[in-house]
Chain A
Amino acid sequence: MSGAVTAPAMDVVLSASGVIRRFGYRTVLAGVSLSLRRGEVLLLVGPNGAGKTTLLRVLAGLLRPATGHVERHGAIGMVAHDAMLYPALSGRANLRFFARLHGIADLGRVDAVLEQVGLSRRADDRVGTFSRGMLQRVAIARALVHEPELLLFDEPLSGLDAAASRTLVELLASFRERGTAMIIVSHEMERLGRVATHIVRLAAGRLGPVESLTGRDPGAVFAELMRGDL
């Protein structure tokens, strides 16, 4: 795992090199490179307006970089601030729709993934009526339905109460067990420190060095990184 591009290994799930993204004359991403392997969970931190959401969207393929490119070796699922769902439809109807677009013929998969996020009982209620925590879970189900190799999360814990946060962190840990690679944008180091395997800081459109978290105290690493903010 490195901040620069290395020779592609068999289990590299995503690699980006020299990504530049502008808004008018402002440079939002000033040459970002990273690569991620199966099973790695990268925590992406940084001050507001650093470009973290933009980076995630470029990695997902929703935005095109001005220069540089992104190579994806596997399917991607994304959970962002907006749930990417239709409030007028039920969780099940939403998931069936996205499953069909992914070419998934077996709709049993929808039931399985609803089960996985713990929403089987509310599967036929309109998601427009859901609380933020439940909506988040449907969104995760949507991101999971096609069994992606990589999951991208943009501030997944924002707006969740303590109980919902705990449930979500457990869910993330379960994904890690299965070997799904993840990139999580968050400043909630305390909760996510134990799920993440690596941490990197984005500031003013540039990525700092990637720090491994295995065998180290997450709090200490985080504090070291955050000193850059002052």
Chain B
Amino acid sequence: MGSTLRAAWHIAVKDLAIEWRTKTAFASGLVFAVLVLAVLFFSRDPTTVSATDIAPGAMWVTFTFASMLGLNRAFLIERELRALDGILLTPAPRAAIYWGKFVANLAFVGAIEAISLPLFVLFYDVPIWRRLGELILVIAMATIAFVAVGTLLSAMVVRTRYAELMLPLLLLPFLVPPLVAGVQATAPLLDGRPLSDVSGWLKLIAGFDVAFVTLAALLFEVVLDE
């Protein structure tokens, strides 16, 4: 177990070091997030639809799609010169590859969310300060769901020619529970209601997280074999 954690850590650090050098995926994800937020804002009829009405949906759509841009890069770097084979030739446990990528993806998506959130407040003028901590909790829990399933699926689609298309196609159905729960939990929180009001949705996301993080980690080794 300790060796898995250590190896996973090294893999996560290496992934983030590479992303830090190039920053391409991060910059694209960020620009994409801003664009989605802006387009959704301007494409509504301001007289009938208030910004606060569409705010939760806009925020979550932005996070979801910006995350998907970043998920494929995790395994693309392993395929360029077949570095993944290099990892498989070391004694590092195979599960460590999943956990390392999972952590790196969480950090990546988390960074995009952290920067998009203030921009979101800027555009939509929503009072997130009332329940900022609770909001961050909901965002974190749903992000874990996206990344757990997304990491597994991106490992699969990366070897196909249509990875950018196949990932959203396969991933989005799995995002329905956490996404709907996220949106439904966000609106009351933005209204200033307490966390207990959205406990049903929170339990849903928590259950989903436990189930799918476990499932994805177990199934990952199947995806690595040739």
Taking CB atoms and an 8 Å cut-off, the chain A residues in 66-96 that contact chain B are 76-78, 80, 82-89, 93
Whether B17 lies near A87 (C-beta < 8 A) is: no
Which interface class (under 10, 10 to 19, 20 to 34, 35 or more) fits A? 20 to 34
**Contacts A93-B17, A97-B10, A101-B7; is A85 near B83 (CB within 8 Å)?**
yes
- Min CB distance A27 to B, Å, is 16
Whether A78 lies near B89 (C-beta < 8 A) is: yes
- Min CB distance B83 to A, Å, is 5
> Total A-B pairs in contact (CB under 8 Å)?
68
Q: Which residues from chain A contact B225 at a C-beta distance below 8 Å?
A: 64
- Min CB distance B159 to A, Å, is 14
Whether B85 lies near A80 (C-beta < 8 A) is: yes
How many residues in B have their beta carbons less than 8 Å from beta carbons of A? 24
The A interface is mostly helix, strand or loop, or mixed, namely: loop
Bound Cα distance from A142 to B83, whole angstroms: 11
- Min CB distance B92 to A, Å, is 4
Asked if A32 CB lies within 8 Å of chain B CBs, one says: no
Whether B14 lies near A86 (C-beta < 8 A) is: yes
- Min CB distance A93 to B, Å, is 7
Bound Cα distance from A80 to B87, whole angstroms: 14
Asked if B226 CB lies within 8 Å of chain A CBs, one says: yes
Asked if B161 CB lies within 8 Å of chain A CBs, one says: no
Q: Which residues from chain A contact B82 at a C-beta distance below 8 Å?
A: 80, 82-84
Q: Which of A78, A101, A146 has the most CB of B within 10 A?
A: A101
Q: Which residues from chain B contact A80 at a C-beta distance below 8 Å?
A: 82, 85
Asked if A10 CB lies within 8 Å of chain B CBs, one says: no
Whether A89 lies near B89 (C-beta < 8 A) is: no
Q: Which residues from chain A contact B88 at a C-beta distance below 8 Å?
A: 61-62
Asked if A98 CB lies within 8 Å of chain B CBs, one says: yes
Asked if B81 CB lies within 8 Å of chain A CBs, one says: yes
**Contacts A62-B88, A88-B22, A93-B17; is A100 near B10 (CB within 8 Å)?**
yes
Between A and B, 15 residue pairs with Cβ closer than 8 Å are A57-B226, A63-B226, A80-B85, A82-B81, A84-B83, A84-B85, A84-B86, A88-B18, A89-B17, A89-B18, A100-B10, A101-B92, A103-B3, A103-B91, A142-B86
List residues of chain B with CB under 8 Å of any chain A CB.
Answer: 3, 7, 10-11, 14, 17-18, 21-22, 77, 80-83, 85-92, 225-226
What 8 additional pairs, Cβ within 8 angstroms, besides A60-B89, A61-B89, A80-B82? A61-B88, A62-B226, A77-B89, A84-B89, A88-B22, A88-B77, A101-B11, A101-B87
List residues of chain A with CB under 8 Å of any chain B CB.
Answer: 57, 60-64, 76-78, 80, 82-89, 93, 97-98, 100-103, 126, 142, 146
